[in-house]
Each structure stands twice: as C-alpha cells, then as structure tokens.
Chains A and B, each alone.
Chain A
Amino acid sequence: MWRRGFPGGTHPHYHKDLSSGKAIEELAAPEEAVIPLHQHTGAPSEPIVKVGDRVRVGTKIGEAAGAISVPTHSSIAGEVKKIEPRPHPLGANILSVVIANDGSDEEEEKAVLKPAAEQTREEMIGAIKEAGIVGLGGAAFPTFFKLSPPKDYPVDTVILNGAECEPYLTADHRLMLEHAEEIVQGGKIIMKVLDARQGFIAIEENKPDAIALMEKLVAGGNGFRVAEMPERYPQGAEKQLIKALLRREVPCGGLPFHVGTLVQNVGTALAIYEAVTEGRPLTRRVATVTGSAVAEPKNLMVRIGTPVAQLIEACGGYRGEVGKLIVGGPMMGLAQFTDEVPVIKGTSGILVLTEEEAVVPDPEPCIRCARCVDTCPMRLVPCTIQDYVEYGLLDEATDWGLMDCIECGCCAFVCPARRRLVGFFKYGKALVMERRKKSAAS
C-alpha cells in the first residue's frame, strides 16, 4: 500500500455501507428534463435548438463556446418546451433547455468512428470533446482540455481516480465493480492520447472488492497498476493523490501536467471509453442517493437533467424530518434550496440529512488550537487566512495561500469552535477573482 501519503487530512465517518452493496439501478427517463447549458468549469455552451424543436437522446442542444467549454446534449427524446433560466445545483438560476419526454427514447445517430485502435490522437480528443465529457468526480473540468497539455509538458503518468474519499458516496465504487473492463479500456485510451509511460488505478483500502477485481484485470502488465491507498480524506483530491502516489508536488497555481501527470475519475474513464469506441455523448451518469433521511439509499444511473426529487422518489422518498439536501458529499457538496434542481454532469451523489444532523452550530471565537493547521492537506494556516478574509485584508490572505485552498473542508470539519472557515475562503476567493477581473479590465 502507498503509505507515504500527503500532508494533513482527516477521518470523517464514511457511512458508505448505506449504499455500497446496492448494484446500480437504471432510473426511468424523466417526463421533463431540465438540462442546464452550464455544467462544467469554463464558458457555458450556447443553445443551438429553439422552442418547438424535436430532439432525440444524444442530440446536441448546446455548442461549446470558447477555449474551455464543451457541448451539451439532450438526455431524452421529445420536444424543446422552454429555454430559460432554471434553478441549478450551483445555487443560481442558469439558462437551461427544458425538454418534454415523448416516451420514444429514440437515439440520435452516432458519429461514425474508426475503431479505437486506428484513431489518431486528435481524432480521439475530438470525439471526447464532441461527447461533452467533463470530469465526473465533481469539479467538471472539460476533459478534452486536460488531455491536451502544452507541448513543453509531456505527461508520463496517468492516474485513474477511484479513491472516492468523499463520505457517503459509492457511485465510483459501484462503477468499478460493474464496469471494470470499460474503465480500464478508457484508461488505456487516455494513456494512448497522452503517450504516457505508466498508469495507476488508485483505490482507497475500504473497497477491497474493487481492488481485487481491478488487480485481476490489469494482471499481465499492460501499463496499469492498482494502487491501494490508505483511507484518509481527501485522498482523492488531485494534488494530494499525486503527492501520495508519485511524490510529485503540483506547483501552487499550476495543474497536474506541470508535473507530468494526469488524473481522471474512473467514471470519466468509462465515459471516454463510450465516446471513443461508440461515439456516445455524455447524457447520463451514476449518482449515489443516500443519507439517513432517504428511505432506501441506492446507486442510480440517471439521465442528465432529471430533477433531484425524482431520484429521491425512486429511493422510497424522504424519511423523517428533512434538514438538508446536498448535491455531492458532506465534505464538499452544495446545500440546495429546492429538490427541483436537476442532476448535472458533475452530480456524483445526492445526500439528504435529517434535521438533527443538519443543525449548523454557532461559530465561537478561534482558540488557536491549530487543528486546522495540522489537518490542512495543502499545508496552509486556515485560521490566519480566515482572519485576513474576515478583516478584508485580501492581499495578506492571498500571500498566506487563500487561492491555494482546495475547499476540501478538513479545517472546518475539525474546528472545535465551529468556525465557517470554508465559507470565508469561498467568499475571499470570489472577492479576489472579482478584483483581478477589474484590474485586468482597467
């Protein structure tokens, strides 16, 4: 096992047994799909359909706009009813295409592709971009862009990320058990695109069945190795995983390619496989629906654009007093105002907490216990940065590493004074970005 690890980290309760034993179930297509045109990091895609247009499963409805952007596809067959801002998991109303299902589930004709083995690097990257693939671990960074690093930075190592360190979530675990072969094939495509020398499938030790299965698949030395990682949050964070596995440190403000590495979530590898071999666009994903306020936690294969309420319904509905609805996991997920928000490409899970679990304790003064310093996987000093943000000293906050914060939540998780550290960091980062934009404009 890779025991060398990364700085800091913590051990939240994992609660994965709620859903880890449940095989992925296919959820019926929704009557109405709400497909936001902004589901990825970068510029939103632009709508290329009109109200009244007929679309099929896989029809492109939004075109990539800008260097870092990907197209958006319809996940159901039917008629475009509206194109208007709708509630989005990020918390704002975002331009979305509303499609009424006609029940036919007719599929769009797929692009005719050469067999994967005969495709060039550019053809594969093109297929991946056209399929609208983004990182499915949560950050939703356009995948084609990650696969096209600058020439001066050759990537020699590919890491398929199956760590799934976020508590409660089991979507990646189930994918590795049920689609292991495709994931490995997807990984090989990534290695071929990048001309990489070695590949790892990194899995936390708490998923021994997935580790055993993957080890069997990669036996015989075809470039991939399974890396059993210790159970420690945030093991699956990109920079921490690279540090733990390769002893490489992604430079501050840099990206993994700066140290010759690429990390892709296992779900993304599966999507890449489907895009390159079948020309299938990204119109569905696996999401874990879990938490003690859900009657029957499950792992569901859902169409993008399905309202969250429908996922809950498929899991037997809410149980008891619902306190908090979270898209994602408990450490980094986003609390929602409403269950009308749709599943988007980056939605790895829906977590519902009871009222009791959801109580937000009042913050108290910092007692300088340094637990946040000891747990920070970026080796920052969260309590000090928080003070600077609180007092509006953005230059000092940036100097102390505000922009290096990965918002993993370790600091606020361990804080005995219940301070809202991550909230301050998100706020401070937004202020800094705004200021940078302004100074760039002037």
Chain B
Amino acid sequence: MEARLIVSTSPHVRTDQDVQTIMFQVVVALMPALVGAIFFFGVRALWLTLISVATAVATEALVQWLRRKPITIADGSAVVTGILLAFNLPGKTPLWLPVVGSFFAIAIVKQLFGGLGYNVINPALAGRALLMASWPVHMTADWAAPSRGVMSGIAQDLGLDAVTTATPLNLFKMSKQVLSDPNALAGQVEEARVALAALGSRGTLVNLFWGNVGGCIGETSAVLLLLGALWLFYKRIIEWRIPVSYVGTVLVLAWVAGGTEGLFSGNVLFHAMSGGLLLGAIFMATDMVTSPVTPNGRIIFGVGCGVLTMLIRLVGGYPEGVSYSILLMNAATPLLDRWTRPKKLGERTLMKASQ
C-alpha cells in the first residue's frame, strides 16, 4: 500500500473531553453566578469580572512570551482564574484591584511555578489572599449593598454600622463576640440576640438562597452556584468527593458547634449558604491541579477544608475562612497523595498469601 501509516502506542481512540473543554464547561458553570452578580450588585460586577479575566489572559500570554514557551491562553485556564478572582471581590472595590490580583495570580502563583498543572496553590485564591493582606480595607469594607438591600437593611434596622456588618457572616461574628463578652452592655447583648435571630430566620435563609445579601460578588447566590455544580456533575467535570466532604463537614460542625445555645444548636442552612462556602467547595477546592488525585486523598482534603473553614468562622479572627482553608489544604496536597495511595487490585491478596 502507498499511504504512510501513522504509528503510535495504544490506545488509538480517546474521549472528546480535553483540557479546553473542561475549562470551557467550568466557565459555563460560572455563568449563572455571574448573571446573579450583575443582577444583585449592578453592572460594576461585570466590569470587575471582565477586567480580571482580561488581565489574567494578558498576563498569561505575556509571561509565556517572555519565557519563550508556547502561548496557551486558548486552553481557558486563565479565563477561569480571572472569573474566580473577580468573584472573590466585594462589589465596590476599585477597578485596579482585580488587575493587581489577576497579575499576581497568573504571573507569580501559576507561571513562575511552571504554568498550568504545576502551580502548588490555587492562583485565584492566592491572588485574593494577596489583596486581603495588602488592601484589607478595600477587601473588607467595599461591600456593595445588593440591589434590594436586605442584608444591610437588617443591619440598619438594628442600628448597627452598615459598612462593617454588611455580610451575614460579619454580623454573625460580631454578634457572637458581643454575646461572649462579659463586659458587654445589656443593650448590646439584646441587639446581638435579635441580630442572631434575624440571621437564622426564614427570611434571611431565603435571601441567602437567592443571593440577595451582602458579600463578594460571585459568592452570594446559593441557588446559582448549585446550578453550576449540577452542570459540572452532569458534564462529569468534577467528582463528588471534594465538594460533598467539604460541605458535609461544614454542615456537621455548624450543627454541632455553630450555635449560641450550646452544642447541637447551630443553624446548618445558614452556614452552608453564607460566605464563600459554595463558591469555594464547588469551584475552588475542586481545582484539579491543587487537589489530591487519590480518592481518599480527596475526601481528607474536603474534610480538612471544612474543619479549617469552621475553625476560622467560629474561633478565628476572620468572619470567613473558605479561601485560607483551601489554600492551606492545597499545601497539604502532595502529602495527602503520598499517604493515601490506593490499594492496587490484588494487593490485599498478596498480603494474605505472604503471611
């Protein structure tokens, strides 16, 4: 025969899911939350996101060009990082903040460690951590009231400072601090009790579900994030272990220790839907590059994220702990992979035979 035959090792067929389709599906899954962000925090949320994505993609191209490596912005991973970084910003932050964050995330955290697949920690979360450390006021005070202003409404009704109590978790933390403060005035204690009751109320939970509360632009709507999760599960992009063990751990710890009436009095739904938990558990703890590859490693990773999140929320100084908990568990990932190597098929039998 005349034709030149292609010779390669088996297998000779492959699934049609490549890196680009994975990243594209993640972007698709983030779209409901982006629509929600624009709906609740105005068109500025879109600008923050677009600027963040543009910076991430441009930085990736620039660094790869400088490193004389092939430019791989088409794989979509920088787009995902850009969106996730923007989703972690309060709505009124200045527009240069995502530029700094995305540049740091891509140039330092991702490309300097070798690019896609080689970064040790999640670039978007590392970018957020840098911004938290460098511009804490922008990151913790620039909350935009959601268009229908319910959360800030609660704060104002209670006569509290509308700026520092703009997220449900802030209010939760402050109220708990008041309750545990022996020097608190009777009026303050009463106020805190009312605030906590309001947080656990059906109205607040409904607002948390839809996303009509203060917070980072991409994290507030539980339903839209869950919609994204459904899409990712349906398309088989992510696997259940990390999100389920993460959220599950938070639920259990919230129930056991998250209440103000002693053990087993916590409001599970409040903790599950507030703050960045769902955004983190669905889109960031599941970042493939920085999470374990072994099945048991993924479970431990998720449980670890959950424990650290609740430790920070209930004991630590910050109102929210999702991003730091994931970053810390990212650092533990190589160790988890080594500790949780699966038992090969036939390994148990061999042990029996040699005993």
Task: Say if the beta carbon of A226 comes within 8 Å of chain B.
Answer: no
CB contacts (< 8 Å) of B11 on chain A: these are: 12, 330-332, 409, 412-413, 422
**Nearest Cβ distance between residue A428 and chain B, in whole angstroms?**
12
Closest chain B residue, CB of each to CB of A370: B293
**Contact (Cβ within 8 A) B5 A368:** no
- 4 smallest CB-CB distances across A and B, nearest first, come from A409-B11, A365-B117, A423-B9, A251-B350
Closest chain B residue, CB of each to CB of A420: B9
CB contacts (< 8 Å) of B295 on chain A: these are: 373-374
Given A251-B350, A361-B18, A12–B115 Cβ distance below 8 Å? no
Choose from B6, B289, B345 the contact partner of A360 (Cβ within 8 Å). B6
Task: Say if the beta carbon of A23 comes within 8 Å of chain B.
Answer: no
CB contacts (< 8 Å) of B68 on chain A: these are: none
Among listed A55-63, A181-189, A380-388, interface-contacting one: A380-388
Task: Say if the beta carbon of A121 comes within 8 Å of chain B.
Answer: no
Task: Say if the beta carbon of A321 comes within 8 Å of chain B.
Answer: yes
Given A239-B346, A249-B348, A373–B293 Cβ distance below 8 Å? yes
Choose from B13, B77, B343 the contact partner of A331 (Cβ within 8 Å). B13
- Measured between alpha carbons, how far is A188 from B22 in the docked complex, in Å? 50
Q: Mark B23-51, 1 if CB is under 8 A from A, else 0.
A: 00000000000000000000000000000
**Contact (Cβ within 8 A) B13 A12:** yes
Closest chain A residue, CB of each to CB of B290: A368
Choose from B3, B72, B116, B345 the contact partner of A6 (Cβ within 8 Å). B345
Given A258-B353, A323-B5, A332-B10, A239–B18 Cβ distance below 8 Å? no
CB contacts (< 8 Å) of B1 on chain A: these are: 309, 318, 322, 338-339
Closest chain A residue, CB of each to CB of B1: A339
Closest chain A residue, CB of each to CB of B238: A369
Closest chain A residue, CB of each to CB of B115: A365
- Measured between alpha carbons, how far is A35 from B7 in the docked complex, in Å? 23
CB contacts (< 8 Å) of B293 on chain A: these are: 368, 370, 373, 381, 383-384
CB contacts (< 8 Å) of B346 on chain A: these are: 239, 249-252, 254, 378, 404
- Measured between alpha carbons, how far is A253 from B344 in the docked complex, in Å? 11
What are 17 A-B interface contacts by the 8 Å CB criterion? A13-B13, A240-B345, A249-B345, A250-B349, A258-B353, A318-B1, A358-B6, A364-B75, A365-B118, A367-B77, A368-B288, A374-B295, A404-B344, A404-B346, A409-B10, A409-B11, A412-B11
Given A367-B116, A367-B117, A379-B342, A422–B19 Cβ distance below 8 Å? no
- Measured between alpha carbons, how far is A170 from B14 in the docked complex, in Å? 20
Task: Say if the beta carbon of A432 comes within 8 Å of chain B.
Answer: no
Interface centre among B75, B293, B342 (most CB of A within 10 A): B293
Q: Mark B310-350, 1 if CB is under 8 A from A, else 0.
A: 00000000000000000000000000010001111111111
CB contacts (< 8 Å) of A378 on chain B: these are: 344-346
Q: Mark A4-28, 1 if CB is under 8 A from B, else 0.
A: 0011001011000000000000000
Closest chain B residue, CB of each to CB of A259: B349
- Measured between alpha carbons, how far is A6 from B346 in the docked complex, in Å? 12
Question: What's the interface size class on A, roughly?
Answer: 35 or more
**Contact (Cβ within 8 A) A334 B19:** no
- Measured between alpha carbons, how far is A378 from B292 in the docked complex, in Å? 19
**Contact (Cβ within 8 A) B8 A360:** yes
- Measured between alpha carbons, how far is A367 from B341 in the docked complex, in Å? 18
Q: Mark A111-154, 1 if CB is under 8 A from B, else 0.
A: 00000000000000000000000000000000000000000000
**Contact (Cβ within 8 A) A370 B5:** no
Residues of chain A in range 405-430 having any CB-CB distance to chain B below 8 Å: 407, 409, 412-418, 420, 422-423, 426
Closest chain B residue, CB of each to CB of A168: B13
CB contacts (< 8 Å) of B190 on chain A: these are: none
Task: Say if the beta carbon of A325 comes within 8 Å of chain B.
Answer: yes
CB contacts (< 8 Å) of A355 on chain B: these are: 6
- Measured between alpha carbons, how far is A359 from B22 in the docked complex, in Å? 21
Task: Say if the beta carbon of A167 comes within 8 Å of chain B.
Answer: yes
- Measured between alpha carbons, how far is A409 from B116 in the docked complex, in Å? 24
Task: Say if the beta carbon of A173 comes within 8 Å of chain B.
Answer: no
- Measured between alpha carbons, how far is A366 from B293 in the docked complex, in Å? 11
Given A259-B349, A368-B288, A335–B12 Cβ distance below 8 Å? yes
- Measured between alpha carbons, how far is A335 from B9 in the docked complex, in Å? 7
- Measured between alpha carbons, how far is A326 from B9 in the docked complex, in Å? 10
**Contact (Cβ within 8 A) B116 A253:** no
**Contact (Cβ within 8 A) A254 B349:** yes
**Other contacts beyond A251-B350, A337-B7, A355-B6: 18, CB < 8 A:** A239-B346, A252-B346, A254-B350, A321-B3, A324-B7, A330-B11, A331-B12, A336-B5, A338-B5, A351-B12, A365-B117, A368-B117, A369-B288, A378-B346, A381-B337, A407-B10, A414-B17, A423-B8
CB contacts (< 8 Å) of A423 on chain B: these are: 8-9
**Nearest Cβ distance between residue B183 and chain A, in whole angstroms?**
51
Interface centre among B9, B22, B292 (most CB of A within 10 A): B9
- Measured between alpha carbons, how far is A321 from B2 in the docked complex, in Å? 10
**Contact (Cβ within 8 A) B116 A379:** no
- Measured between alpha carbons, how far is A253 from B6 in the docked complex, in Å? 33
CB contacts (< 8 Å) of B288 on chain A: these are: 367-370
Task: Say if the beta carbon of A30 comes within 8 Å of chain B.
Answer: no
Closest chain A residue, CB of each to CB of B22: A416
Residues of chain A in range 377-405 having any CB-CB distance to chain B below 8 Å: 377-381, 383-384, 400-401, 404
- Measured between alpha carbons, how far is A249 from B348 in the docked complex, in Å? 8
**Contact (Cβ within 8 A) B12 A381:** no
Choose from A353, A364, A365, A373 the contact partner of B12 (Cβ within 8 Å). A353
CB contacts (< 8 Å) of A12 on chain B: these are: 11, 13
**Contact (Cβ within 8 A) A422 B15:** no
**Contact (Cβ within 8 A) B13 A335:** no
Task: Say if the beta carbon of B294 comes within 8 Å of chain A.
Answer: yes
**Contact (Cβ within 8 A) B22 A7:** no
Given A367-B289, A420-B9, A373–B353 Cβ distance below 8 Å? no
Interface centre among B5, B7, B118, B291 (most CB of A within 10 A): B5
**Contact (Cβ within 8 A) A334 B350:** no
Choose from A6, A258, A413, A416 the contact partner of B21 (Cβ within 8 Å). A416
Residues of chain B in range 103-120 having any CB-CB distance to chain A below 8 Å: 114-118
